[in-house]
Amino acid sequence: MRTKQMLPVLLTLLVCASIMCPSLMFAGTVSGKVTYTGTPVKPKQVDMTKEPSCAKEHATTPVLNETVVTGPNNALENVVVYVSSGAPDDGQVPSQAVTYTQKGCQYIPHVLPMHVNQELDIVNADQTSHNIHPLPKSNIEWNKSQPPGTPPIKEKYEKPEFISVKCNIHPWMHGWFVVLNTNHYDVSKGAGEFKLPNLPPGKYTITAWHEDYGTQTADVTITGNETKDVNFTFKAKAY
Amino acid sequence: MNSLKPMRFTAIPRTAILGFTILGLVLAVASTPRAFAQEAPDVGPKPPVVVKPMESHIGNITGHAADAKSDYRRYCAGCHGDYGDANGENAVWLDPKPRDFTIAAFKCRSTLTGTLPTDEDLYKTIGRGLTNSNMPIWNTFTKQQKADLVAYIKIFSPRWEHEKAGTPITVPAEPAVTIDSIAHGKALFTKLECWKCHGTHGEGDGPSASTLTDSKDNPIRPYNFATGGNDSRFKCGNTNQDIYKIFMTGVDGTPMPSFADVIQPNDAWDLVHFLRTLQVHRKSKENEVLSAAHGVIPPYVEKPTSNLAPATVPADNKSPGGGQ
């Protein structure tokens, strides 16, 4: 075939590719910072004297309640920022598992996002027994004992939900499973920054969730390879 | 015709004045807004209860939800509520609260934590009642009535429509009660940290006992093994097999977890034997064996072969969501 005939074919292929597989061609990023206004409650110190094996791990650095964790310049940590609508690849369950660790009688990480039906591995890295007792309302509730040295507990959740997690033996332990329909999520850390890369061109709704300060949304449109700056500001609660 | 006499008010009879006054008062009262009334404002008719055609199968009895409608209304709705959501009018005065059937999480099962109970589990709970709670021992019902009520309970949660009941766990034959078995049970009680909630003597006074809350955030106490006399019972039964099932399946909706993944079946039986000795006022084979040993439980020597490995449950009996 001659070049003149090839050109429209090539152009058609290119256009088709960019429509069908836009991520091959263009992928933008939404990033920004999560901050707070006002004065958050001073976090209380957690008393672990009832569990000496954990208390001694924190002998030098006191453990603070993790409901509100702040960083420099009014940064708000542990905010789950995710694409709540618009992502074309939602529903793809990753093959790798996420891990939730009980260490020093704390849950690490405090907030764990995961995809619906993604494997969740729960590890006890302490010298004491814990019972892992997530408290879902739409998903199924179960409660399992996990002594030290036992293998990880493998579970998964079928419905999107923000699930409160606790240990009945150690009442100060508290954390969250955030089960989402999307893999486009991040948790704000340190200076409150988050990053959502690999977003093909399109219109998105970005949702930011904090366990105490509530939920906020922002709409953003990606047209190409750009990085869109989206920031969230939460109002601190007095108590 | 112009001889009209002026009206004399004294001519109106007293009965007429009285009558009109009463009428006036009645009209005034009837027309005032009902804000002062004792009842809540009328929010309209409640939605009807949808009685789905659920069934139950216990032995050779089949229960039908529709046949239990009037029994439920008469005997159960006062606590469990018309919609099975534990909002019956008595519920505010009850502790522990009645079961909320809309969640489909039940305390007494032969199935793993997080799975639905079998029809027989529910049937037995109705007949046995729940000790230390307001759930009576319903020995007034016929077998058919109980089966129909089991079917009726299933209308309140959509889980019953598409989820099968869990497979009952295997309870192996009970080995002999010996002082060694009791000693091993005591070692397990310590190692698995049951004492954290139940206390070292099982009296419900462990270090974590005072902060326990159930899944609806109501304060809850761990079981006190030393309560009761010769007939001291557990919520989910009073045989050794029942105790075995309690800690292997966990008591869903409460802080009591399942130990199915961390206890071997033989070790579990040793724990059952030890737990019986915590029921100090109960006549049992275990307490006899303990008195024969002068009331002293010897220290347990860990044999190399026994370890904490996952318990043997049937291969297809998975905990929800593909757990181990």
Pick from A133, A155, A171: which is nearest to B321 by CB? Answer: A155
Q: What is the pLDDT of residue A39?
A: 94
Chain B closest-CA separation from residue A87 CA (Å): 25
State whether B244 and B151 are in the same domain.
no
Structural domain count, chain B: 2
Is residue B291 within a helix (H) or strand (E), and if so which, with residue range? helix B285-292
| Residue B194 within any structural domain of the chain | yes
State whether B103 and B195 are in the same domain.
no
Give the CATH number, domain containing residue B94: 1.10.760
- The chain B residue lying nearest A135, using CA atoms, is B215
Q: What is the pLDDT of residue A20?
A: 56
Count of beta carbons in the 10 Å neighbourhood of residue B255: 25
| Residue B13 within any structural domain of the chain | no
State whether B186 and B148 are in the same domain.
no
Name every chain A residue with its beta carbon within 8 A of the beta carbon of B322. Answer: 119, 154-156
**B103, B137, B162 - which closes a domain:** B162
Pick from A142, A143, A147: which is nearest to B192 by CB? Answer: A147
| Residue B304 within any structural domain of the chain | no
Tell me whether B114 touches chain A (CB under 8 Å): yes
State whether B197 and B288 are in the same domain.
yes
B322 vs A153: CB contact, 8 Å cut-off? no
- The chain B residue lying nearest A128, using CA atoms, is B193
B289-318 b/e with 16+ CB inside 10 Å = b?
A: bbeeeeeebeebeeeeeeebeebebeeeee
Residues on A contacting B at a C-beta cutoff of 8 Å: 50, 117, 119, 128-129, 131-133, 135, 140-147, 149-151, 153-158, 168-171
What is the arithmetic mean of pLDDT over A203-208? 96
pLDDT tens, residue order, chain B (324 aa): 455 665 555 667 787 788 787 887 777 666 655 545 455 566 678 889 999 999 999 999 999 999 999 999 999 999 999 999 999 999 999 999 999 999 999 999 999 999 999 999 999 999 999 998 999 999 999 999 999 999 999 999 999 999 999 999 999 999 999 999 999 999 999 999 999 999 999 999 999 999 999 999 999 999 999 988 887 889 999 999 999 999 999 999 999 999 999 999 889 999 999 999 999 999 999 999 999 999 999 999 876 655 555 554 444 444 444 333
Q: Which region holds residue A175: left if phi is over 0, alpha if psi is between -120 and 50, else beta?
A: beta
State whether B92 and B189 are in the same domain.
no
Using alpha carbons, list the distances in angstroms from residue B39 to A123, A182, B32.
Answer: 53, 48, 15
B255 vs A128: CB contact, 8 Å cut-off? no
| Residue B50 within any structural domain of the chain | no
- In the block, residue with structure tokens 């093994």: B225
What is the arithmetic mean of pLDDT over A113-125? 97
* Range(s) of the domain holding residue B227: 179-292
A215 falls in which pLDDT band (50, 70, 90)?
very high
How far apart, in whole angstroms, are the C-alpha atoms of residue A21 and residue A16? 8
State whether B229 and B276 are in the same domain.
yes
- In the block, residue with structure tokens 């969640």: B103
| Residue B28 within any structural domain of the chain | no
Residue B162 CB-density burial (10 A; 0-12 exposed, 13-18 middle, 19+ buried):
exposed
**B133, B162, B191 - which closes a domain:** B162
Q: How many residue pairs bridge chain A and chain B with CB atoms within 8 Å of each other?
A: 97
How far apart, in whole angstroms, are the C-alpha atoms of residue B272 and residue B266? 10
State whether B183 and B251 are in the same domain.
yes
Chain B closest-CA separation from residue A68 CA (Å): 21
How far apart, in whole angstroms, are the C-alpha atoms of residue A124 and residue B192? 14
| Residue B309 within any structural domain of the chain | no
State whether B134 and B190 are in the same domain.
no
Chain B closest-CA separation from residue A137 CA (Å): 8
| Residue B128 within any structural domain of the chain | yes
Domains of chain A plus CATH, in order, are 21-53+60-88+182-239 (2.60.40.10), 91-180 (2.60.40.420)
Tell me whether B32 touches chain A (CB under 8 Å): no
Tell me whether B61 touches chain A (CB under 8 Å): no
Name every chain B residue with its beta carbon within 8 A of the beta carbon of A154. Answer: 322-324
Q: What is the pLDDT of residue A238?
A: 85
Residue B33 CB-density burial (10 A; 0-12 exposed, 13-18 middle, 19+ buried):
exposed
Strand partners, A186: A81
Give me the percent of chain A exceeding a pLDDT of 70: 91
| Residue B145 within any structural domain of the chain | yes
Name every chain B residue with its beta carbon within 8 A of the beta carbon of A144. Answer: 113, 250, 257-258, 260-261, 319
State whether B212 and B275 are in the same domain.
yes
Strand order in the sheet with A120-124: A106-108, A98-103, A120-124, A153-155
The least confident of A89-93, A100-104, A146-150 is A89-93
Tell me whether B196 touches chain A (CB under 8 Å): yes
The encoded tokens of residue B139 equal 């020995």
The encoded tokens of residue B320 equal 């929800």
The encoded tokens of residue B165 equal 């009941």
ipTM field? 0.84
Whole-number CA gyration radius for chain A: 22
Residue B250 contacts by C-beta under 8 Å, 6 or more apart in sequence?
A142, A143, A144, B113, B256, B257, B258, B259, B260
**B162, B196, B216 - which closes a domain:** B162
Residue A202 contacts by C-beta under 8 Å, 6 or more apart in sequence?
A22, A86, A87, A88, A221, A222
Q: What is the pLDDT of residue A18?
A: 54
Q: What is the pLDDT of residue A237?
A: 92
Q: What is the pLDDT of residue A51?
A: 94
